[in-house]
């Protein structure tokens, strides 16, 4: 059965109290997952951008199996922009939605090669002009490669933040804003990675492992 705390209690929680609870959760997760970070193998922002596009509806493990051959064949934006579509589709086929992903990769590469030939873009507004790049992908690159504060809302961050009562919406952009409001900016990127680790290891989609959860005492959704 669920704890006596109602599902709606987090919504009634005062803003200051919610912020304190969020910071406590962040502290506990920092101790539990001190080495949490980006799970996509990459050697710079270009490779991470490509890997993150491929990771949509695909596991990071699968992407990491695909990208070595992909980057060996197309090591930079110029070569990827000129890729034969059929060859590119073949290389990324196992990541799913391969035709759409191949189009996004070529489109992003073409824009990088033409508009950002002098250097990889490091501003959100510029990254969002790349085909196939939304706020999640841009935040992955900005937070991981450029050290900019970034809330990365992947499927795990969305699920875990909702269960913890830190987010009250399904909209990724709104979840990003809500989490930003709760925590100091210098901890955003690490907190995102730790929520992802926690979602993979404990707070599973179908059956969360509440018995082994280090933040169960701070969670309005935990099962006892």
Flag whether pLDDT at 2 surpasses 70: no
DSSP string, 121-164: --SHHHHTTSTT--HHHHHHHHHHHS--------HHHHHHHHHT
Q: Of 126, 136, 207, 209, which one is the catalytic site residue? A: 136
**CA-based nearest residue to 160, from 187, 206, 212, 195:** 195
What's this model's pTM, rounded to 2 decimal places? 0.89
Answer whether 178's CB lies under 8 Å from 166's CB.
yes
170 belongs to the catalytic site: no
Answer whether 137's CB lies under 8 Å from 49's CB.
yes
Flag whether pLDDT at 197 surpasses 80: yes
Q: Give 58's strand partners.
A: none
125 belongs to the catalytic site: no
Domains annotated for the chain, with CATH where assigned, are 9-32+150-218 (1.10.1670.10), 45-145 (1.10.340.30)
Burial 139-169 (b: 16+ CB within 10 A, else e): bbbbbbbeebbbbbbbebbbbbbbbbbbbee
Q: Of 41, 84, 118, 154, which one is the catalytic site residue? A: 154
Flag whether pLDDT at 78 surpasses 70: yes
Return the minimum-mean-pLDDT range out of 11-25, 108-122, 134-148.
11-25
Confidence of residue 10 (pLDDT cuts 50, 70, 90): very low
DSSP string, 165-199: TS---S-HHHHHHHHHHHS-GGGHHHHHHHHHHHH
């Amino acid at each position: 059965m669920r704890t006596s705390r109602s599902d709606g209690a987090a919504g009634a929680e005062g803003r200051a109290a919610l912020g304190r609870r969020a910071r406590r959760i962040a502290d506990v997760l920092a101790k539990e997952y001190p080495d949490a970070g980006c799970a996509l193998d990459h050697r710079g922002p270009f490779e991470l951008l490509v890997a993150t596009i491929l990771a949509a509806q695909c596991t990071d493990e699968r992407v990491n199996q695909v990208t070595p051959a992909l980057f060996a064949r197309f090591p930079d934006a110029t070569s990827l922009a000129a890729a034969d579509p059929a060859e590119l589709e073949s290389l990324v086929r196992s990541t799913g939605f391969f035709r759409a992903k191949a189009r996004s990769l070529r489109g992003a590469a073409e824009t990088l090669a033409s508009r950002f030939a002098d250097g990889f873009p490091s501003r959100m507004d510029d990254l969002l002009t790349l085909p196939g790049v939304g706020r999640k992908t841009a935040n992955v690159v900005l937070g991981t490669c450029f050290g900019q504060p970034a809330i990365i809302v992947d499927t795990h961050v969305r699920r875990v933040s909702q269960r913890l009562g830190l987010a009250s919406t399904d909209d990724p952009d709104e979840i990003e804003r809500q989490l930003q409001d709760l925590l100091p900016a210098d901890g955003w990127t690490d907190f995102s990675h730790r929520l992802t680790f926690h979602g993979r290891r404990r707070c599973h989609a179908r059956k969360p492992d509440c018995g082994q959860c280090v933040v169960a005492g701070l969670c309005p959704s935990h099962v006892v």
